[in-house]
Amino acid sequence: MENSVEARTTILVLTSNHCAQLLDTLGLICKLPERWPIIVVDNGSNDGTAAAVTARFPEVLLICAGHNLGAAARNIGVAYVHTPYVAFCDDDTHWEPGALNRAVHLLDTASDVAVLSACVKVGAKRETDPLCVSMGHSPLAREHLPGPQLLGFMAGACVMRTRAFYDVGGYWPPFFLGGEEVLMALDLAERGWRMVYADDVVIRHFPASKLDSRQMQHRLIRNAIWVAWMRRPLRTAWRETYFQLAQAGQSDMFWWMVLHVLWGLPRALRQRKVISPAIEAMRELLDHAPRPPIMSSAR
């Protein structure tokens, strides 16, 4: 693929053992008229993904991780990005025509915005993801920003300033997958970066049928507890721990989750750096707003 010298964003696709769906996704994003640079990070697939991508899409830069690194595989992919912005998606999502042009324009004109969280339209019926609906009603002050202000985003459905990604050091590997963007969002805000929801930057999502929603839910809870102890004041960390454990209830994976929380907690505490009162106040405002469903349709 001969990319324009004016290319402003790179599409970075994360995949793991979804070869057929990835090929469909690449077929769609390779047809975008802007011919954006595309990077695929293969997270340790053993279903022939690498060979199929190489054969069908030689213009795509393929990076193969030796094993499944979860969200941290994006760190590897971003190291190969040479554009000011990077548009993240997964093997079951693809950007609509015109979406990235709109994202580039918004980021070019809002120098303090690090992340645009896209509007996720799910399935053939194009239903808006519930988390996007919640973002659209963010209680945070909009100020001068080009959309509702956020203190979070959807990792697999956002456009990010590459410099901001480096600024916070990428994703913390122990999270694997599930709420991995929460820590990054707090760290971006602490460094003065802004995050907004962009209703007119649209990404389509066709959820993979093999997603283990129960395991993902428990990772979300585990990771939320770790983040609380990494960045929130002690009283808030205890409150968030109680809330998350109450959410988990007495499921058949409850004690598995508790053991994993405790296993990773010493490592999380070594990363502890409490956010400023201003960012904590924003987080508190969101904590007291109605919480969206714990499972979003986008990874």
Residue 280 within any structural domain of the chain: no
Residue 269 within any structural domain of the chain: yes
Q: Is there a contact between 174 and 264 (Cβ–Cβ < 8 Å)?
A: yes
Supply the mean pLDDT for the chain.
Answer: 93
pTM for the model: 0.94
Q: Minimal CA–CA distance to 28: which of 79, 84, 100? A: 100
Q: Is there a contact between 220 and 257 (Cβ–Cβ < 8 Å)?
A: no
Question: pLDDT grade, residue 159 (50/70/90)?
Answer: very high
Residue 155 sits in the same domain as residue 236: no
CATH number at residue 197: 3.90.550.10
Residue 291 within any structural domain of the chain: no
Structure tokens at 132: 């996007």
Residue 298 within any structural domain of the chain: no
Structure tokens at 29: 């994003």
At which of 172, 205, 238 does a domain end? 205
**Sign of the alpha-carbon torsion through 166, 10, 129, 71:** negative
At which of 163, 183, 205 does a domain end? 205
Residue 287 within any structural domain of the chain: no
Express each pLDDT in 30-62 by its tens digit: 999 999 999 999 999 999 999 999 999 999 999
Rounded to whole angstroms, the Cα distance separating 212 from 234 reads: 32
Residue 100 within any structural domain of the chain: yes
- Interval 138-145 mean pLDDT: 96
Structure tokens at 107: 């980021």
Express each pLDDT in 228-243 by its tens digit: 999 999 999 999 999 9
Residue 45 sits in the same domain as residue 171: yes
Express each pLDDT in 224-282 by its tens digit: 999 999 999 999 999 999 999 988 887 777 888 899 999 999 999 999 999 999 999 99
Our CA dihedral for 222, 22, 162, 118, rounded to 10 degrees, sits at: -70
**Other CB atoms within 10 Å distance of the CB of residue 145:** 18
Give the C-alpha distances (Å, rounded to integers) separating 22 from 13, 25, 49, 207, 282. Answer: 9, 5, 8, 12, 37
Residue 283 within any structural domain of the chain: no
Residue 55 sits in the same domain as residue 165: yes
Using DSSP's 3-state secondary structure scheme, residue 275 falls into coil
Residue 285 within any structural domain of the chain: no
DSSP state of 107: H
Residue 73 sits in the same domain as residue 169: yes
**Look-up of token digits 């102890």:** 229
At which of 183, 205, 227 does a domain end? 205
Residue 63 sits in the same domain as residue 84: yes
Residue 173 sits in the same domain as residue 233: no
Residue 200 sits in the same domain as residue 220: no
Rounded to whole angstroms, the Cα distance separating 46 from 182 reads: 30
Query: What's phi and psi for 78, nearest 5 deg?
Result: -65, -25
Quote the number of domains for the chain: 2
Express each pLDDT in 76-103 by its tens digit: 999 999 999 999 999 999 999 999 999 9
Burial class of residue 74 (count of CB atoms within 10 Å of its CB; 0-12, 13-18, 19+): buried
Structural domain including 219 reads 213-273
Instruction: Kindly report the length of the chain.
Output: 299
